[in-house]
Amino acid sequence: MFPTLTLIAMITSAFLGIYTLNMLVLALMAAKKIFSQGGVDADPPIPEPLPTMTIQIPIYNEGRLVEGVLENITNLDYPKERLEIQILDDSTDEETLAKERRLVEKYKGEGYNIQLIHRENRRGYKAGALNNGLKAAKGDYIAVVDADTISPRNFLKELISHFSEEEKLAFIQTRCEYTDRWFNWVTESNAIERDVHYLVEQPAKNWYNLLPNFSGKAGMWRRDVLEKYGWDEGVLTEDVELSYRVQLDGWRSLYLHNPICLIELPPSLSALKTQQKRWTAGFAQSLKKLWRPLLRSNKLTLSQKLETLIFLSSPITHLVALTAIVLWVLAAILEPDITLDLWLGTPTFSTFMMLISSAPNFAVVTGILRSGERKRRKLLSIPLTLTILTANLIANARGALHGFLRNNLAFEKTTKYGTTHNTRKHEVATNYTLRHLLKRNSNELTAAILVITAIAKLLLLGQLTSAIPPFLHRALVVTQRLPTIMRNS
């Protein structure tokens, strides 16, 4: 019988395996489709006449981005007389508002139906702005793009053609690429992580009818669906929550590999941590709200329910992973003999732990192989990606607890700089000073010191094997036994 500490560590690791193995299954499903058939999306005919379209652009103090997003939208291939543009502005920045007013007048003079809808408060944040704009919208379909989104010229026509094919299609989500993928090591590693979602997870769910989700931008909705269900203003990830709420009621979703929209990634660790913490809290809120309706739904299959439940439960993985790390470090220090025997003397356990730790990497590699240029560079960046994911573990765990335990959470906005802003590199560079890193990442640094201390203690005890990755255990055992083997031979 195992001691209590080791036993709890084993249970948490097994629980974590549910999520990592699920990602492995999705990656295998995606790989089978991609490498056997190419996974090409069919292009239905474009309907004639084209329906009225409303494009909603939520804005909050993003004056540097407004001009670019409006220039992009007004260059889309869609008739002016059937296009409505809404700038949904919650800004407190007068400079942003002044620029928006000038641009609205400019494009009205060019014949565009464009309006600025400014709220004096941020009630409901982005969800509140979208709901407010819907009241005045004239379009039969609603496209949502953020201020940093760059859409291809055929964006609207390609999406609208799919709606004409199926009446129960509620929304379409398109693939996103990144304007600043190669800006620095933070954006490069974050892009690889997101590729798993856009190139592996979403396509697999789409191809095997496992309910893709809406990602909040670069997508389109039926207006009557939005009017019936509405964005939940109490959930930080209103996009995910609404996309599953409508699918629980029998509506369908569609994920398209093409067209591709460009978005901006957070260029600093602090911005990335803020964004991921917000998403984690929002997923926790969505799970808390939807798990009962999900299990009770008579319009979903068992596989759809299980996959959606695992996806929405992702905040739990941060809590479980953090707990598992702490427990194994404590077990290695307090129960070193038991821990060593378990990891080295039990092949089934060590193999299972190796599978848990390496399973997500298959999804990462699949995404990289499906992506475009510089595949070798991306493969070499995998360790960096895993390092940043681990570094954000504490912030994400805190976000999960906030989402599960608190109400009325504040929406912490991710700063966006714009791809052509001249001072961007200077502004971002301030996030890399030693003082800034120590101040903004104190929890992670404290945790790292504790782990290093634990490993040092294990080294002194001669128990290094209990503190290194599972896939090195066997090699180390052979190395340790090599002198004995040579003497006997």
Please state whether the peptide bond connecting residue 267 to the residue before it is cis, i.e. omega within 30 degrees of 0: no
DSSP codes of every residue in 296-321:
H-SSS-HHHHHHHHHHHTHHHHHHHH
Q: How many domains does the chain have?
A: 2
Q: How far is CA 452 from CA 33, 188, 330, 334, in A?
A: 43, 27, 12, 16
In a domain, 280, yes or no: no
Same domain, 203 and 109: yes
CATH of the domain at 53: 3.90.550.10
pLDDT tens string 288-311:
999 999 999 999 999 999 999 999
- Would residue 342 be called left, alpha or beta, if left means φ above 0 and alpha means ψ between -120 and 50 degrees? alpha
Q: Work out the number of other CB atoms within 10 angstroms of the CB of residue 40.
A: 9
Q: What are phi and psi of 171, to 5 degrees?
A: -155, 160
Same domain, 114 and 219: yes
> Residue 430 is part of which domain span?
4-32+314-488
pLDDT-wise least confident of 219-223, 229-233, 313-317, 355-359: 355-359
Distance CA 255, CA 244 (A): 14
Chosen domain end from 230, 247, 266: 266
Q: What is the DSSP letter of 414?
A: P
pTM of the full structure? 0.85
Q: What is the DSSP letter of 165?
A: T
pLDDT tens string 277-291:
999 999 999 999 999
pLDDT tens string 125-173:
999 999 999 999 999 999 999 999 999 999 999 999 999 888 899 999 9
Same domain, 434 and 332: yes
Distance CA 217, CA 84 (A): 17
pLDDT tens string 335-347:
777 776 776 667 6
Same domain, 20 and 164: no
In a domain, 55, yes or no: yes
pLDDT over 70 (residue 453): no
Chosen domain end from 266, 295, 322: 266
Same domain, 47 and 196: yes
Same domain, 106 and 136: yes
Same domain, 467 and 420: yes
- Would residue 174 be called left, alpha or beta, if left means φ above 0 and alpha means ψ between -120 and 50 degrees? beta
